[in-house]
């Protein structure tokens, strides 16, 4: 009875609990059963009532009045205790609780059984899937941790407050070189390179989940240091909060990273261009040198194909070859003419190859290139310079041959006709002809020498301009008069045109140089024209006068136009080769034109003629009645009688020539053959009026002699006569005290003029 009473009390208690919580239970699923005992004496339960949630959760429908073993055979059969559990509750009134997983919705349920009345059971369901899941995860992570602790990874467990090592696995013992037992006596501070404070700060970070991953340097038992990556987290183990640390030795990786870092700095700072593309050829990386040379920024280049640099000037075969080489695993070396962002062309010397991974698959292409534009330019310049040197060497040889020819020809004339002159029985006419020919040859030789001297003066920068008022029209008229007879003789026509009225044609320039330029050009025209005419003249074009000399001669080939102004250059063709000339005239003319502030050029058609043009600044002067001395027509000068000239000269021919030049002018000549003798004569013969002094003489040279003569008779005029024509020589002469200077071969008229001037006659 006692048990009946007590079971009644339990049912009552269950009832009150139920009433208190009914509201919340109804939220979940519930079923109300009545216990029966069937004809075979089996216990079963009949559904009295279920709520909607129950139907939903179990997937059972229309269960009222049916038996539990019938609706849920799986449950009751697989678990015979199941019915017993319900029966016990129905009989004793003691509530029960169990967990069940329902396949119908894949959820875990917490089932509570109550019996508010004997023979009845109220079963209530609560969904506990979430809780179950987290329990499951926890279990799993614990398992994982166990596994981790037991496998190869280095793991140590730490006391988060002290940093003492609580435990360590075998991998840790092996790595650090201390036994697990030894490690368990140690603190993490004895292993890490971090300071005590850092250890504490880092452990706090782990505890608060602010940071889990660290890079440290750990020391091992043998004293060696290793770079380690530490992953640390907190874990609750046997109710205690601890830190676990998984340690990876990354020494090799760090070393590789450092290496990589060094390499990448090298690439970044390299003066060579580095371009890396993916296998499709899209640019992945360019270094600063690329930007510097091409003008494309990293952003502009990335994703583009290196094709953006193509100049279109390389033959397609070069690229075909390039791709064939690098795709076959070889390195391509070559030069590419490329284009910068601004369109400028440049030359790259490139080394291009493929990068392959371990599986031998191409992952990238890398190109290392150097801008060799300057080098190429220098190389081209070097070749040009070499060619020029060879050309000038060739020209020099040609010049020497030419000069030798130019000297020999007139020499031949002079010597030949001089010889002939010696023949007896020559008629007077024959004699005059021979002398004329000797004279012509002499003039030709003198011209050559003058040209050579002019070239060396130009070279030495010794050419001085003598600017004076120059009436251009008059100058042209004189040139016309001078050349007319020669032109007539050749059967050509000569014509000149002035571009301004006489009054406006006076300019400020070096008339001597202007005459020489025009003379050179007209002489050339004459030389290279066999029929037709020669025109010369000038036009005013704004601030300049443009002079011209036009002929209808053989003309000049286009490729020779620039060269003919070069020194020693004679156009090497059969027509001109026959003509005399040193190849200096145009070079001198060009130098003179430029000195005078103008330019010279030529236009020509081969076989039809040449047109030479040069300009001079038009600096007009309003002067009247200006005459310059005619360049060619010189009047003889008469010297008044009775003067005595001392000729100091060691060369007998030169002495004789001087004597002859002075003969017939009522001049007495006396001779000295060296400086010492000359001084002696001055001392003895007071009637000497003037001295003609050679420089290069034995015993005492002309300078020294002049100096001493000037000491004896300071007012006795001394004229230095010499074959040397340098500026230095003139200055030396001046220093020695001479009064005049005349160059050999001596021009009779010039000599007389100078003597007259010095004698004040």
Which stretches of the chain bind ligand ADP, using CB under 6 A?
520, 524-525, 528, 551, 553-556, 564, 569-571, 576, 581-587, 610
In what helix (H) or strand (E) does residue 390 lie, and over which residues does it extend? helix 373-421
Helices (H) and strands (E) in the chain, counts: 24, 27
Q: Is 468 helix (H, G, I), strand (E, B) or coil?
A: strand
Pick from 666, 660, 634: nearest CA to 647: 660
Whichever of 182 and 409 has its CB closer to ligand ADP, that residue is 409
Q: Write the CA distances from 654 to 650, 661, 671, 723, 746, integer angstroms.
A: 8, 10, 12, 11, 9
Q: Shortest distance, CB of residue 527 to ligand ADP, whole angstroms?
A: 6
Partners of 334 in the β-ladder: 350
Asked whether 42 and 90 are in contact (CB, 8 A), the reply is no
Q: Shortest distance, CB of residue 487 to ligand ADP, whole angstroms?
A: 14
Whichever of 366 and 452 has its CB closer to ligand ADP, that residue is 452
Pick from 311, 376, 298: nearest CA to 343: 311
Burial label for 1, CB within 10 Å (0-12, 13-18, 19+), is exposed
Whichever of 95 and 555 has its CB closer to ligand ADP, that residue is 555
At residue 401's C-alpha, the angle toward residues 398 and 402, to 5°, is: 80
Q: Shortest distance, CB of residue 408 to ligand ADP, whole angstroms?
A: 16
Whichever of 14 and 554 has its CB closer to ligand ADP, that residue is 554
Q: Shortest distance, CB of residue 553 to ligand ADP, whole angstroms?
A: 5
Rounded Cα distance, 256 and 250, in Å = 10
Q: Shortest distance, CB of residue 593 to ligand ADP, whole angstroms?
A: 13
Asked whether 116 and 18 are in contact (CB, 8 A), the reply is yes
Q: Shortest distance, CB of residue 507 to ligand ADP, whole angstroms?
A: 25
Whichever of 582 and 743 has its CB closer to ligand ADP, that residue is 582
Whichever of 93 and 583 has its CB closer to ligand ADP, that residue is 583
Q: Shortest distance, CB of residue 577 to ligand ADP, whole angstroms?
A: 9
Q: Shortest distance, CB of residue 528 to ligand ADP, whole angstroms?
A: 4
Q: Is 368 helix (H, G, I), strand (E, B) or coil?
A: strand
Q: Shortest distance, CB of residue 571 to ligand ADP, whole angstroms?
A: 3
Asked whether 90 and 118 are in contact (CB, 8 A), the reply is yes
Q: Shortest distance, CB of residue 580 to ligand ADP, whole angstroms?
A: 7
Runs of H (alpha helix) within 295-372: 298-301, 316-327
Q: Is 48 helix (H, G, I), strand (E, B) or coil?
A: strand
Q: Write the CA distances from 632 to 361, 481, 508, integer angstroms.
A: 91, 9, 21
State the residue for tokens 């100078």.
754
For residue 439, count other CB atoms closer than 10 A to its CB: 13
Q: How would you classify the pairing of strands 609-617 and 667-672? A: unpaired
Which residues, other chains included, contact 661 with Cβ-Cβ below 8 Å and sequence gap of 6+? Answer: 746, 748, 751
Which residues, other chains included, contact 289 with Cβ-Cβ below 8 Å and sequence gap of 6+? Answer: 270, 271, 272, 273, 274
Whichever of 332 and 528 has its CB closer to ligand ADP, that residue is 528
Whichever of 58 and 582 has its CB closer to ligand ADP, that residue is 582
Strands (E), 488-596: 493-497, 506-509, 533-541, 544-551
Whichever of 258 and 608 has its CB closer to ligand ADP, that residue is 608
Whichever of 49 and 572 has its CB closer to ligand ADP, that residue is 572
| Residue whose beta carbon is closest to ligand ADP | 581
Rounded Cα distance, 361 and 328, in Å = 12
Whichever of 169 and 402 has its CB closer to ligand ADP, that residue is 402
Whichever of 569 and 752 has its CB closer to ligand ADP, that residue is 569
Q: Shortest distance, CB of residue 541 to ligand ADP, whole angstroms?
A: 22
The whole-angstrom distance between residue 296's C-alpha and the CA centroid of its chain comes to: 14
Whichever of 154 and 591 has its CB closer to ligand ADP, that residue is 591
Evaluate the omega torsion of the peptide bond into residue 755 and state whether it is cis, within 30 degrees of 0: no
Q: Shortest distance, CB of residue 586 to ligand ADP, whole angstroms?
A: 3
- Rg (Cα) of the chain, in Å, rounded? 61
Q: Shortest distance, CB of residue 444 to ligand ADP, whole angstroms?
A: 11
């Amino acid at each position: 009875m006692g048990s009946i009473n007590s079971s009644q009390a339990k049912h009552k208690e269950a009832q009150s609990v139920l009433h208190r919580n009914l509201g919340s239970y109804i939220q979940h699923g519930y079923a109300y059963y009545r216990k029966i005992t069937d004809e075979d004496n089996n216990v079963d339960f009949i559904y009295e009532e279920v709520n909607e949630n129950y139907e939903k959760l179990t997937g059972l429908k229309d269960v009222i009045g049916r038996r539990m073993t019938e609706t849920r055979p799986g449950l009751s059969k697989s678990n015979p205790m199941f019915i017993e559990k319900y029966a016990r509750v129905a009989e004793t009134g003691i509530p029960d609780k169990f967990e069940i997983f329902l396949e119908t919705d894949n959820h875990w349920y917490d089932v509570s059984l109550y019996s508010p009345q004997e023979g009845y059971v109220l079963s209530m369901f609560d969904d506990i899937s979430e809780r179950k899941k987290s329990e499951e995860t926890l279990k799993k992570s614990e398992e994982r941790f166990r596994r981790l602790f037991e496998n190869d990874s280095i793991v140590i467990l730490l006391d988060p407050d002290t940093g003492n090592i609580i435990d360590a696995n075998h991998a840790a013992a092996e790595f650090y070189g201390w036994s697990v037992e030894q490690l368990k006596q140690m603190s993490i501070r004895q292993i890490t390179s971090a300071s005590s404070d850092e250890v504490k700060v880092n452990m706090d970070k782990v505890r608060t989940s602010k940071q889990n991953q660290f890079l440290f340097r750990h020391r091992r038992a043998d004293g060696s240091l290793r770079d380690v990556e530490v992953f640390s987290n907190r874990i609750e183990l046997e109710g205690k909060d601890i830190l676990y640390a998984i340690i990876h030795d990354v020494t090799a990786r760090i070393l590789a990273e450092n290496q990589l870092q060094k390499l990448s700095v090298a690439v970044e700072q390299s003066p060579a261009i580095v371009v890396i593309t993916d296998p499709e050829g899209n640019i992945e990386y360019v270094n600063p040198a690329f930007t510097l040379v091409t003008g494309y920024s990293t952003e502009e280049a990335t994703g583009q194909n290196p094709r953006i640099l193509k100049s279109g000037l390389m033959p397609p075969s070069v690229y075909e070859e390039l791709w064939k080489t690098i795709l076959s695993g070889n390195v391509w070396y070559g030069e590419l003419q490329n284009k910068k962002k601004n369109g400028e062309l440049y030359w790259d010397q490139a080394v291009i190859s493929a990068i392959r991974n371990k599986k031998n698959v191409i992952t990238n292409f890398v190109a290392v290139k150097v801008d060799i534009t300057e080098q190429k330019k220098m190389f081209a310049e070097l070749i040009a310079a070499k060619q020029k040197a060879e050309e000038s060497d060739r020209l020099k040889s040609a010049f020497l041959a030419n000069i030798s020819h130019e000297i020999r020809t007139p020499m031949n004339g002079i010597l030949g006709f001089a010889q002939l002159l010696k023949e007896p029985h020559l008629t007077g006419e024959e004699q005059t002809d021979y002398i004329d020919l000797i004279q012509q040859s002499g003039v030709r030789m003198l011209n050559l020498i003058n040209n050579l001297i002019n070239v060396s003066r130009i070279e030495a920068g010794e050419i001085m301009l003598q600017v004076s008022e120059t009436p251009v029209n008059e100058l042209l008229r004189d040139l016309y008069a001078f050349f007319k007879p020669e032109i007539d003789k050749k059967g050509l026509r000569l014509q000149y045109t002035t571009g301004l009225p006489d009054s406006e044609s006076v300019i400020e320039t070096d008339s001597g140089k202007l005459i020489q330029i025009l003379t050179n050009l007209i002489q050339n025209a004459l030389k290279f024209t066999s029929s037709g005419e020669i025109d010369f003249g000038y036009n005013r074009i704004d601030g300049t006068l443009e002079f011209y000399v036009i002929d209808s001669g053989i003309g000049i080939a286009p490729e020779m136009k620039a060269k003919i102004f070069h020194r020693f250059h004679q156009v090497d063709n059969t027509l001109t080769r026959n003509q005399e000339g040193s190849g200096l005239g145009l070079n001198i003319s060009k130098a003179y034109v430029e000195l005078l502030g103008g330019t010279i050029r030529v236009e020509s058609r081969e076989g039809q003629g040449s047109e030479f043009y040069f300009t001079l600044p038009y600096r007009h002067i309003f002067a009247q009645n200006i005459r310059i001395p005619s360049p060619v027509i010189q009047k003889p000068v008469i010297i008044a009688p009775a003067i005595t000239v001392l000729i100091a000269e060691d060369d007998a021919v030169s002495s004789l020539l001087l004597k002859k030049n002075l003969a017939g002018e009522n001049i007495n000549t006396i001779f000295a053959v060296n400086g010492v003798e000359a001084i002696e004569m001055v001392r003895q013969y007071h009637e000497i009026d003037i001295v003609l002094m050679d420089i290069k003489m034995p015993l005492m040279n002309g300078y020294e002699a002049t100096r001493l003569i000037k000491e004896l008779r300071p007012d006795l005029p001394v004229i230095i006569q010499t074959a040397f024509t340098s500026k230095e020589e003139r200055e030396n002469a001046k220093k020695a005290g001479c009064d005049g200077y005349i160059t050999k071969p001596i021009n009779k008229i010039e000599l007389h003029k100078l003597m007259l001037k010095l004698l004040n006659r």
